[in-house]
Structure 1
Amino acid sequence: MAKKKILMLVGDYVEDYEVMVPFQMLLMVGHEVHAVCPDKQAGDTVVTAIHDFEGEQTYSEKRGHNFQLNATFNDIELEEYDALVIPGGRAPEYLRLKPSVIEIVEHFDAEGKPIAAICHGPQLLASAGVLADKECTAYPSVGPDVASTGGRWIEPSADMDNAHVDGNLVTAPAWPAHPAWIREFLKVLGTKITL
């Protein structure tokens, strides 16, 4: 297996599981992952949010951990990266307002590099205009963003544990989908795990 270099876009109140689990899992299988945030440097932290499904009409939100960045946003060279990961939580709703973040998403799409986005992460895809004629799932409240930008909305399963693949794009509705989402992303990356 060829080691891949993966960029992860995060910000304050990124969803706790959606940043920590894929970050650690991708490192575990041998890939190099750089987690970056605009206006922050390697060694800085972002605050995470824990979103849970407790029977109300939408998810609940609690303060999570501090997640330490291991790369500096202003130092990244996009050509060096093989893939992009966009966790959900609150971060995507304001990260999409930063032109530099949108340019990153546009780069990975234009190059046909693998992109994995979960929960509210597809808000960045919609804002970058890269969903036209692509199938995408996400947290249900992001469905209108997907549809309004020309994407084909894929309804999440009742348990929020499905992932969807459309070419280089791997999307999922929320952290219960980690097994499916990460498995499909590894396939798109060409990562083979044998037992």
Structure 2
Amino acid sequence: MATPRLLLLAGDYVEDYEVMVPFQALTMLGYQVDAVCPGRSRGEHVLTAIHDFEGAQTYSEKPGHRFALTASFDEIRHQDYAGLVLPGGRAPEYLRLDARVIELVRAFADRPIAAICHAGQLLAAARIISGRKVSAYPACRPEVELADGVYADIAMDAAITDGRLVTAPAWPAHPAWLAQFIAVLGAKVTL
């Protein structure tokens, strides 16, 4: 039996926890997670940023780590994957300008997608959220609504599933977000 594969889309200044934690957790569950970035190849890396909530009007940002890519963007075929993982951070704001990225996100419109934080910008740019309940970082609410999505104003540690789309506002939601995503994938975790 072939190992189920998931695609994770990253870019420079992707949020550190939002790329590292799902990559590690889904790999631990037995998925082959292919992490890619446009213009980069397997073995290269992206820089991450750590976003924190420290009482300011918005999140703070600090340098993160180097995250190693496990596949080459130009060599992937969307049909080889059971689902798509879209972490947030600053990467979505410029990844959404790449027509190949938008085409890729659209290719997953009817398959499981896990999107967190600013990844709502990618969902909105791909125009795949009309009429769907979508959570994202609160600053992305206007984009979700302009793409005719229904913004889900939920707690920072909560997630929401609408069909095969699982979204959350930020990394504090990892337990709920990842649990809902693996349920959508049909995986079962037993102790």
TM, length-normalised to structure 1: 0.96
Q: CA deviation at 1:4?
A: 2.2
> Structure 1: which 5+ residue stretches go unaligned?
none
Pairing 1:61-100 to 2, within 5 Å after superposition: 61-100=61-100
Q: CA deviation at 1:3?
A: 4.2
Contact 1:5/1:31, CA 8 A, preserved across alignment: yes
Deviations 1:130-174 (A, max 9, x none): 0101100010000111011100010021xx101000001000000
Tell me how far apart the structure 2 counterparts of residues 56 and 143 of structure 1 sit (CA, whole Å): 19
1:189 matched residue in structure 2: 185
1:26 matched residue in structure 2: 26
3-state secondary structure, aligned to 1:24 = helix
3-state secondary structure, aligned to 2:88 = coil
Contact 1:4/1:31, CA 8 A, preserved across alignment: yes
Tell me how far apart the structure 2 counterparts of residues 77 and 101 of structure 1 sit (CA, whole Å): 12
Tell me how far apart the structure 2 counterparts of residues 156 and 167 of structure 1 sit (CA, whole Å): 17
Q: CA deviation at 1:113?
A: 0.7
The structure 1 residue matched to 2:153, chosen from 149, 152, 155, is 155
Tell me how far apart the structure 2 counterparts of residues 4 and 76 of structure 1 sit (CA, whole Å): 15
1:123 matched residue in structure 2: 121
* Identical counterparts, % of pairs: 58
Q: Aligned AA for 1:136?
A: V
Tell me how far apart the structure 2 counterparts of residues 95 and 156 of structure 1 sit (CA, whole Å): 25
Q: Aligned AA for 2:131?
A: D
Tell me how far apart the structure 1 counterparts of residues 63 and 12 of structure 2 sit (CA, whole Å): 11
- Provide the alpha-carbon RMSD of the alignment: 1.1
Shift >3 Å, 4+ stretches: none
Tell me how far apart the structure 2 counterparts of residues 2 and 169 of structure 1 sit (CA, whole Å): 24
1:140 matched residue in structure 2: 138
1:48 matched residue in structure 2: 48
Q: Aligned AA for 2:114?
A: A
3-state secondary structure, aligned to 2:108 = helix
Q: CA deviation at 1:2?
A: 8.0
